[in-house]
């Protein structure tokens, strides 16, 4: 093909930057217009590793621990290769943040090189692929100038991260079945942290706080400003973790406002049934009314306690978000005919049982629900 003044017969070539003979050069057609000479740069190392990492579509917070060298790296080079089908240039980038700073996000395109020295080393990075359609391949080279293994104190994994003034609406699904994102309350919203569902070891709600034990971050402390909102967040995340395909921002309503339902057994003890006022159908459950009744023969039993009644009366407890809930005698309270609490039934007469069953979000079986028990 004939070339004239750096142009082809089909028009001017797009200028680009490339590596050539150890230098970084800017090219326009066949002409080199700028050169950053790198041949004399020397970066010493004592340990060196090279590897390839594939970030799946939408994968968030992949911990790049410098291929096992941890926070002791003094050289890091990453080359990103994007899927050939990812034709939108603006979608081809990788988000990263330093291990000690979860809120400040940076971006790289095709190449990133970080260098340090024995006194100023490179922290580990978290890498996120924001492209939810295509994976990105990262070729990585890491080196260390010496044999040091403990340059940075690991304060992050000990202390975790904390966020104040969090709202339930700030929790959204980022990649279905894989990651969630927490947004702040600003307008426009800003992402505070991306959390991989598989990295969540446990959720603990204490007062206004929800504590996420995360295998990458350590403890993440979320302050929702009220215990009720913290319970809702606990319920929402549990529901997302335990049910494939949940998209948080598509839930309507977002909050769990439905009480769990107690399903009673068809037959109690020796042939007795449970009935509810206004219906003759069996079996019955707590969605059908408030006042239930049954008859139980004391028979050969010297006493009847909470655990026995739990087994005889309750078939199962189900919740719209939490699924099947476990119950035992601790969820029942027995009252005698004088409405005094009793630990066990030891004689014939009329008794009542009330139930204490609460789901993760704080919804409970109504305190008006009562089981009348006639002991013969």
Question: What mean pLDDT do residues 78-101 have?
Answer: 90
Burial of 338 (0-12, 13-18, 19+ CB in 10 A): exposed
Q: What is the pLDDT at residue 190?
A: 84
Residue-level pLDDT at 321: 97
Once rounded to an integer, what is the mean pLDDT over residues 356-365? Answer: 97
Q: How confident is the model at residue 6 (pLDDT cuts 50, 70, 90)?
A: very low
| CA 305 to chain centroid | 41
Average pLDDT over residues 44-56: 90
Cα end-to-end span (Å), the chain: 105
Exposure string for 169-200, b = 16+ CB within 10 A, e = fewer:
ebbebbbeebbbbbbbeeeeeebbbbbbbebb
Task: For residue 149, name the pLDDT band (cuts at 50, 70, 90).
Answer: low
The string of DSSP letters for 209-258 reads EEEEEETTTEEEEEE-SSHHHHHHHHHHHHHHHHSTT--GGG-SSSS---
Helices (H), the chain: 155-159, 227-242, 306-313
How far apart are alpha carbons 350 and 170 in whole angstroms?
51
Q: 47-155 and 160-250: same fold?
A: no
Q: How confident is the model at residue 262 (pLDDT cuts 50, 70, 90)?
A: very high
Contacts of residue 187, Cβ cutoff 8 Å, sequence gap at least 6: none
Rounded Cα distance between 92 and 129, Å, is: 9
Tens of pLDDT, residue by residue over 171-186, are 999 999 999 999 988 8
In this prediction, residue 159 carries a pLDDT of: 43
**pLDDT tier at 38, thresholds 50, 70, 90:** confident
Q: Which of 52-56, 179-183, 269-273 has the lowest mean pLDDT?
A: 269-273
Q: Is the pLDDT of residue 70 over 70?
A: no
Residue 352 has pLDDT above 60, yes or no: yes
* Spatial distance between the Cα atoms of 91 and 12, rounded to a whole number of angstroms: 26
Domain segments of the chain: what residues? Answer: 7-36, 47-155, 160-250, 261-375
Q: Which residue has the higher pLDDT, 100 or 204?
A: 204
Query: Phi then psi for 124, rounded to 5 degrees?
Result: -60, 155
CA nearest to 224, candidates 159, 182, 163: 163
pLDDT band at residue 152 under the 50/70/90 scheme:
very low
3 state DSSP class of 315: strand
pTM over 0.95: no
What is the band of 232 on the pLDDT scale with cuts at 50, 70, 90? very high
Cα 148 from Cα 95, distance rounded (Å): 28
Q: Round to whole Å and give the CA distance between 287 and 333.
A: 20
**78-82, 116-120, 147-151, 213-217: lowest mean pLDDT where?**
147-151
pLDDT, mean of residues 299-309: 91
Side-chain-side CA neighbours of residue 35 (13 Å): 9
DSSP string, 344-366: EE-SSEEEEEEE--B-TTS-B--
Pick the CATH number of 160-250 from 2.30.31, 2.30.29, 3.30.230, 1.10.150: 2.30.29
- For the domain spanning 47-155, the CATH number is 2.60.120.10
């Amino acid at each position: 093909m004939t070339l004239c003044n750096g142009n082809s017969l089909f028009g001017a070539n797009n200028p680009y930057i490339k590596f050539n003979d150890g230098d970084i050069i800017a090219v326009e057609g066949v002409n080199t217009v700028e050169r950053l000479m790198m041949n004399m740069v020397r970066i010493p190392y004592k340990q060196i590793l090279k590897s390839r990492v594939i970030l799946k579509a939408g994968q968030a917070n992949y911990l790049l621990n410098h291929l096992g060298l941890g926070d002791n790296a003094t050289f890091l080079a990453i080359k990103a290769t994007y899927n050939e089908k990812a034709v939108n240039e603006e979608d081809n980038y990788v988000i990263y943040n330093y291990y000690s700073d979860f809120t400040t996000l940076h971006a790289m395109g095709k190449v990133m090189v970080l260098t340090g020295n024995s006194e100023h080393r490179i922290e580990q990075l978290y890498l996120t692929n924001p492209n939810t359609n295509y994976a990105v391949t990262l070729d990585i080279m890491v080196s260390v100038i010496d044999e040091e293994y403990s340059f940075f104190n690991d304060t992050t994994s000990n202390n975790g991260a904390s966020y104040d003034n969090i709202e339930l609406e700030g929790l959204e699904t980022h990649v279905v079945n894989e990651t969630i994102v927490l947004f702040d309350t600003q307008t426009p919203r800003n992402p505070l942290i991306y959390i991989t569902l598989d990295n969540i070891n446990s959720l603990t709600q204490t007062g206004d706080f929800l504590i996420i034990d995360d295998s990458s971050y350590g403890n993440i402390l979320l302050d929702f400003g009220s215990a009720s909102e913290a319970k809702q967040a606990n319920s929402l995340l549990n529901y997302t973790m335990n049910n494939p395909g949940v998209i948080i921002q598509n839930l309507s309503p977002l909050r769990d406002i439905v009480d769990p339902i107690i399903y009673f057994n068809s037959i109690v003890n020796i042939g007795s049934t449970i009935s509810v006022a206004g219906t003759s159908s069996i079996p019955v459950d707590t969605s059908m009314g408030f006042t239930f009744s049954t008859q139980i023969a004391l028979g050969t039993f010297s006493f009847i306690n909470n655990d026995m009644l739990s087994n005889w009366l309750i078939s199962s407890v189900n919740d719209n978000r939490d699924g099947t809930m476990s119950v035992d005698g601790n969820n029942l309270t027995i009252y005698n005919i004088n409405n005094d609490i009793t630990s066990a039934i030891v004689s014939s007469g009329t008794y009542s049982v009330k139930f204490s069953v609460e789901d993760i979000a704080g919804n409970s079986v109504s305190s008006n629900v009562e089981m009348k028990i006639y002991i013969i």
